[in-house]
Structure 1
């Protein structure tokens, strides 16, 4: 069993000049979320983690709660971790990033009040300490967005992909 305090940048957000379609919208700022996680690791079975994060800068004033299930497989110095997770985004968070206020509405972009919802993710993480003289990690992810997000007139996708490469050098 483990418990951790966490801080994470929330990269959601946009500037109204990012797209012609967003003209007339107020910018939505990135934020810094803080919270905690509780994890349970069963050797050779799986890891279960519950996480709660809340906006520390009062931009979206919301929170996200998630549950993740993962399993690590080792093959020599290589690690492979599949993970599935469910993320509950509360109404304040969804409304801030995906809502359209009355004064932002146009004929093409109707008013939209965000509501809470669930996003679902599937991720594959590959890592090894033997490449490039440090610790190398590649993350591949797929996300299914909640209807509370995809119903927004400023969203045109129902799912998304992410690829992340990380390298850590120890001194």
Structure 2
């Protein structure tokens, strides 16, 4: 396989905080060797009990044809036995997630974030992908300015 190079993603995001639910949208386009565009829409709700927060979320991320083809496509020069040529198409992934946070001190929070993502059919159909979903776990520390 030819090397897929990264690039710089540029774009913008907006967040709306409501009394019942929060919504956010993000639009990104790749520069450099990477190609494509991504749009992400997310709904979440934070529940707080003392120093503990729990934030469930649902999100959809659309990737255009160039993005899917660049990262999941197989060029004719990359064809091998068991790996057919593949030209990707636009795809939408759906994510469910849950973040647990704990404020260890004012402005200091540690968190664990769990997620499950269902991959769009144009990604699942790629010969480079052997599953229809992916799970994730992240842990981190936040300092609020």
Q: TM-score, normalised on structure 2?
A: 0.92
What residue number does 1:127 align with? 101
Aligned residue among 16, 39, 43 for 1:65: 39
Residues 118, 103 of structure 1: alpha-carbon distance in 2 compared, 3 angstrom cutoff:
same
What does 1:16-165 correspond to in 2, within 5 Å? 25-43=1-19, 45-56=20-31, 58-130=32-104, 134-165=108-139
CA contact (8 A) 1:123 1:140 kept: yes
Size of the aligned set, in residue pairs, is: 144
CA contact (8 A) 1:73 1:80 kept: yes
Q: Name structure 1 gaps, 5 residues minimum.
A: 1-24
State the shift of 1:103 in Å. 0.8
- RCO greater where, 1 or 2, for CA within 8 Å and sep 6 or more? 2
Moved over 2 A (4+): 29-32, 168-171
More strand by share: 2
Residues 35, 153 of structure 1: alpha-carbon distance in 2 compared, 3 angstrom cutoff:
same
CA contact (8 A) 1:67 1:85 kept: yes
State the shift of 1:170 in Å. 7.5
Q: TM-score, normalised on structure 1?
A: 0.79
RMSD (Å) for aligned C-alpha atoms: 1.8
CA contact (8 A) 1:60 1:92 kept: no
